[in-house]
Amino acid sequence: MFIGHFAPALVAATHKKAPSLATLFVAGQLVDFACFIFVIVGVEKMRIVPGITAMNPMDLYYMPYTHSLIGGLAWAAGFGLLIAALTKNRAAALIAAAVVPTHWLLDVLVHAPDMTLTGLPPKLGLGLWNYPALEMPLEIGLTMGALWIYARRTGGWTRPITVLAAVLLLVQGYNWFAPQPTEMSIAMPVSALFAYAVFTALAAWASRGRVVNA
């Protein structure tokens, strides 16, 4: 799951007490922000295993801090406390925190068995990346459906929303159809972090001035 992780953020942003859409975009991908930073510095480990799934060759073989359920809940708690400290808004903090663990739930749907509950076996994953005819419409449907809900609840579909949708689809298409890497390199985590930063900046721009309807 890639852009699908933004679907919970978009739906959560329709709550009147929610924090900014950009904050929720960070929440939706928070564990991947941490994961790729941890991979760069060697705290967590991933490898490329061509053919591990039909759509994605990544094997998250040592990810106890970011891709375990308990790790995701810890990140959620920490992020919620940070938002509470910055905004003094308990409701916004709770909403932001609630988005974070949706990342683990969505990843369990698509990953090969490399997700865990506590960082130790058993490893979980339903492997929808092996079934492109199911995974592709699921991810696009979740993301674009959530974006439509967000637009409808916050003033309608505008040009910035169109740009956000187009960039999400373009990058997702590249992720699916570009040649898959055959070995691990630092370019992978760096490019992922860059993409998440771009998405977050676009969310901040596209949501500027929008207000949740009564």
pLDDT digits (tens, 9 = 90+) for 132-170: 999 999 999 999 999 999 999 999 999 999 999 999 999
Residue 44 in 3-state DSSP? coil
pLDDT of residue 25: 98
Confidence of residue 78 (pLDDT cuts 50, 70, 90): very high
Q: Give me the mean pLDDT over the 180-207 stretch.
A: 95
pLDDT of residue 136: 97
Q: Give me the mean pLDDT over the 181-192 stretch.
A: 93
pLDDT, one tens digit per residue, over 31-73 is 999 999 999 999 999 999 999 999 999 999 999 999 999 999 9
pTM of the model: 0.96
pLDDT of residue 1: 86
Q: Which two tokens stand for residue 108?
A: 């369990």
Of the candidates 101, 125, 114, 85, the one whose C-alpha atom is nearest the C-alpha of residue 30 is 101
Q: Give me the mean pLDDT over the 120-131 stretch.
A: 96
pLDDT of residue 98: 98
- Does the pLDDT at position 27 exceed 80? yes
DSSP secondary structure code for residue 68 in this structure: B
Cβ-Cβ contacts under 8 Å for 3 (sequence gap 6 or more)? 139, 143, 168, 169, 171, 172, 199
pLDDT of residue 214: 72
pLDDT of residue 35: 97
